[in-house]
Amino acid sequence: MERRQVGSAGLRVSALGLGTMSWGRDTDRADAADILRTFLDGGGTLVDTAASYGDGDAEQVLGEALDGQVSRDDVVLVTKAGVRNGPAGPRRDASRGGLLGELDASLRRLGTDHVDLFLVACPDPTTPLEETVSALRLAVSSGRARYVGLSNHPAWASARAATLLESDGTGLAALELEYSLLQRGLEREIVPAALDLGLGVLAWSPLGRGVLTGKYRRSVPVDSRAASDHLAGFVGQYLEDAASAAIVEAVATAAEGLGRAPLEVALAWLLARPAVACAVVGARTPLQLKGALAAADLVLPGEVHAALDDVSAVEVGYPERW
């Protein structure tokens, strides 16, 4: 599998990454170990997790799958902090104490002394960005993280954080956001900022929360995320949108013409976009992962890529189009 540089940083990752959001909940330990082995055997390196996934269960399962089975040098570990689950629901906490405390707990669960990339999961309106950035600086200077970045942050915050981390050489390496043919909002400001600042984009939910696989074209499979109590709302917004349906049909048509699966076409389109270093796929079974890995060698014909661009084009208004 192709290795890609993350922006202008020295970090290199596999073009496809492995997401672990379902581990410890919808994916048990045995399947997780099989998925990890399939991913590594397919040339993958980047494994993405978070302290909030299953209240730490995903990291625990990942740590057990890595322990004694995989060389630490063969894996690029990415984790996120800044969201705490409590009785009243998720709470944002990107304070210095919150981020570093969660990072330490993540390292214990993962069974390692460092992660390769540490991300702040989302903006925290109650904590100054300068304090959040100071935690990222400490994560690197203490050796607990090799590189740092932001997830789900707007362009202005990403640019400000990059500026603050530039002076001492810590640097901001990556931005992780939702990006797919069904969600191209970051092309308005995030992608231009990333290209100008030398930041790599990691795309989560590159298959439009599973909708771009085409499995929801006729009905909702009983074993799918859209049929589950805890993820139905997560998927539902793309199932109820007429524009999304048109994009899914365009992907299916392109896939049929190329003799490939729709998910391969959707991933190949994304991997050809500017600034994208990695597309993080959240396979729940080894079979699902094998389907995604098949996209690693697909290069879309120019006319197909252009057609998908047109059908999914993001609306750009003032001031972006100025």
Q: Tell me whether residue 147 is one of the annotated catalytic residues.
A: no
**What gap in Å lies between CA 229 and CA 231, rounded to an integer?**
6
**What gap in Å lies between CA 26 and CA 19, rounded to an integer?**
13
**What gap in Å lies between CA 99 and CA 118, rounded to an integer?**
10
Helix (H, G, I), strand (E, B) or coil at 133: helix
Parallel/antiparallel/unpaired status of strands 12-14 and 16-19: unpaired
**What gap in Å lies between CA 255 and CA 308, rounded to an integer?**
11
**What gap in Å lies between CA 206 and CA 101, rounded to an integer?**
30
Hey, what amino acid is at 250?
A: A
How many residues are listed for the chain in this entry? 322
**Cβ atoms < 10 Å from Cβ of 302:** 9
H helical segments located in 42-126 = 57-66, 96-110
The single residue of 53, 147, 179, 216 carrying the catalytic annotation is 53
Asked whether 84 and 93 are in contact (CB, 8 A), the reply is yes
Beta strands in the chain (DSSP E): 3-5, 12-14, 16-19, 46-48, 76-81, 83-86, 89-92, 115-120, 145-151, 174-178, 200-204, 276-281
CA–centroid distance for 175 within its chain:
9
At 199, phi and psi to the nearest 5?
Answer: -105, 140
**What gap in Å lies between CA 19 and CA 143, rounded to an integer?**
24
> Annotated catalytic sites, by residue?
53
